[in-house]
Amino acid sequence: MEKERVSKEITPQGQDFSQWYLDVVLKAEMADYGPVKGCMIIRPYGYAVWEHMQADMDRRIKETGHVNAYFPLFIPKSYLEKEKEHVAGFSPECAWVTIGGGEELEEPMAIRPTSEAMICSMYAKWVHSWRDLPVLINQWANIVRWEKVTRPFLRTTEFLWQEGHTLHATAQEAHEETLKMLLVYRDFCEEMLAMPVVWGQKSESEKFAGAHKTYAIEALMSDGKALQAGTSHDLGQHFSTAYEIEYLDKNQERARPWSTSWGTSTRLIGGLIMTHGDDAGLLLPPKVAPYQVVIVPIPPRKGDWSEAVLPRSREVMASLRRAGVRVHLDDRDNQQPGFKYADWEMRGVPLRLELGPKDIEKDQCVLVRRDTREKSFVPLAQTPARVRELLDAIQQNLLERARQYLAEHTTQARSWDDFKAVMADRRGFLLAGWCGDAACEASIKEETKATIRVQPLDREPVPGSCIRCGRPSPAEVYFAQAY
């Protein structure tokens, strides 16, 4: 009964996927709406997920030789205007500060929509010699982009991210850095979020404003739409020229460095939700779950649960904590076990541990997996080891499931009619030829809402003909409708 009451509050995916998403975000207390449109509050449960993601990503960024720094939130207008394509790309979504301390400012300041302008201006001051290269700096920060249509985590006016900004002595080194970080992102998504991705290069129309080349990882959500999950930009010498970064090379000649930038954001949380969630709610991979296990003590029919059930539950909790498991004991005495089961299922806790008077008699507990609903009885002494095994198995199973979904929803478009039919129905990634003409790309988008996600680097180029116009195509590209 109570189980039904909880799940009824979440719209089934098949009925309305976007409503399902919003229901999950709000009911699982991942986020809430703030007073300013498009600005979300990341609630403690959602923020804990972010903290686990952030800690692991930060480790990977540092392991690849980068260091963290922090740059100002306000960017003077004249700084932003130095790179023409960049400012043209970002102006429409900039928020400007024009008054400070009650007085109109001499120069308006943008609230950072990204930090190339600020960081490159500082690099111009810091870099003088070939000995100063490479510069490998990352920043964790908040970003503001004035979005018209917003959705929690996926597209918000303010969001959290990391942005790497590097300088290199050669074009080759910058190119290698760009791809290195793209693969760091790919591995992070697979290993932590159990979210497989395809990866490759963006077309001209989809590349970052001011970039030489943009690369991206793209994940496939369970409604068949793609989500850009991280980008890495080879900026060439565009920014070092615009911001006048110059140094003396080994021959004492003036040279310009090559730069890159790369970022991932709280958007990944949206990807996580839409990759694994189901009609019961959220389903979190153990590696980022705030609670990997929730203990639900079952009170005796007669008598007091504080006599045996609660003390034993606390012992089990302590033994799991010692084993490095993130565990929560649900000792709310105003809710029935059935309500708690559904509640934690909805919040996506990977493993539930039930402990009742009969279990205590048998010196065992019940473990229930969120992903398969599989139930097992485990002797209490073996519980920590068994829990660790199951958490690993769940993490692995989620990745396998998502990989299978990605494989099943990545198909070859045989003809333009076939392309349109797939995009109108099950969607997913469609591999198809493209002549390279932006007009074809635009007309495909117009008719099917599908865009070129990436020109793949994870498979050999297959020459053929353009799916739209029939002219020669140097390689197949991934098309999808996207968030």
The interface region with Zn ion, picked from 41-49, 129-137, 386-394, 460-468 by CB under 5 A, is: 460-468
CB of 444 to Zn ion, least distance (A): 9
Q: Which residue type occupies 455?
A: Q
CB-wise, 124 or 435, nearer to Zn ion?
435
CB-wise, 225 or 468, nearer to Zn ion?
468
The interface region with Zn ion, picked from 122-130, 284-292, 383-391, 430-438 by CB under 5 A, is: 430-438
CB-wise, 12 or 474, nearer to Zn ion?
474
CB-wise, 284 or 431, nearer to Zn ion?
431
469 binds Zn ion (CB under 5 A): yes
468 binds Zn ion (CB under 5 A): yes
**List of residues 6+ apart from 224 with CB closer than 8 A:** 409, 426, 427, 428, 480, 481
The interface region with Zn ion, picked from 263-271, 273-281, 298-306, 428-436 by CB under 5 A, is: 428-436
CB-wise, 300 or 436, nearer to Zn ion?
436
Contact 139, 71 (CB under 8 A): yes
CB of 416 to Zn ion, least distance (A): 10
475 binds Zn ion (CB under 5 A): no
CB of 414 to Zn ion, least distance (A): 16
DSSP 155: B
CB of 125 to Zn ion, least distance (A): 46
CB of 25 to Zn ion, least distance (A): 39
CB of 472 to Zn ion, least distance (A): 9
Candidates 324, 384, 272, 286; CA nearest to 31 is 272
The interface region with Zn ion, picked from 225-233, 285-293, 310-318, 427-435 by CB under 5 A, is: 427-435
Residue 294's alpha-carbon distances to 31, 253, 350, in angstroms, are 21, 63, 9
CB of 374 to Zn ion, least distance (A): 49
Main-chain phi, psi angles of 213, to 5 degrees? -140, 140
CB of 466 to Zn ion, least distance (A): 3
DSSP three-state, residue 276:
helix
Contact 256, 483 (CB under 8 A): no
CB of 437 to Zn ion, least distance (A): 5
The interface region with Zn ion, picked from 29-37, 177-185, 344-352, 463-471 by CB under 5 A, is: 463-471
Structure tokens at 476: 């197949």
The interface region with Zn ion, picked from 12-20, 196-204, 397-405, 438-446 by CB under 5 A, is: 438-446
Contact 428, 411 (CB under 8 A): yes
CB-wise, 367 or 440, nearer to Zn ion?
440
In 27-79, where do the E strands start and end? 31-33, 40-42, 67-68, 74-76
The interface region with Zn ion, picked from 115-123, 324-332, 416-424, 461-469 by CB under 5 A, is: 461-469
Contact 28, 348 (CB under 8 A): yes
Tokens 């005796």 map to which residue? 300
In a 10 Å sphere around its CB, with 0-12 CB exposed, 13-18 middle and 19+ buried, how is residue 180 labelled?
A: middle
**List of residues 6+ apart from 258 with CB closer than 8 A:** 167, 168, 169, 170, 171, 173, 174, 234, 235, 236, 237, 240
Contact 200, 216 (CB under 8 A): yes
b/e per residue 360-376 (b: at least 16 CB within 10 A): beeebbbbbbbbeeeee
CB of 202 to Zn ion, least distance (A): 17
Applying CB under 5 A, among 229, 466, 477, 480 the residue interacting with Zn ion is 466
**List of residues 6+ apart from 206 with CB closer than 8 A:** 214, 451, 452
Beta-strand pair 429-433/410-412:
parallel
The interface region with Zn ion, picked from 27-35, 366-374, 394-402, 468-476 by CB under 5 A, is: 468-476
Task: Give kind and range of the element (H or E) at residue 233.
Answer: strand 226-234
Q: 185-214: which residues touch Zn ion (CB under 5 A)?
A: none
- Site mask for Zn ion (CB under 5 A), range 387-426, x = bound: ----------------------------------------
Q: Residues binding Zn ion: what is the number (CB under 5 A)?
A: 6
CB of 470 to Zn ion, least distance (A): 7
Positions that interact with Zn ion (CB under 5 A):
435, 437, 440, 466, 468-469
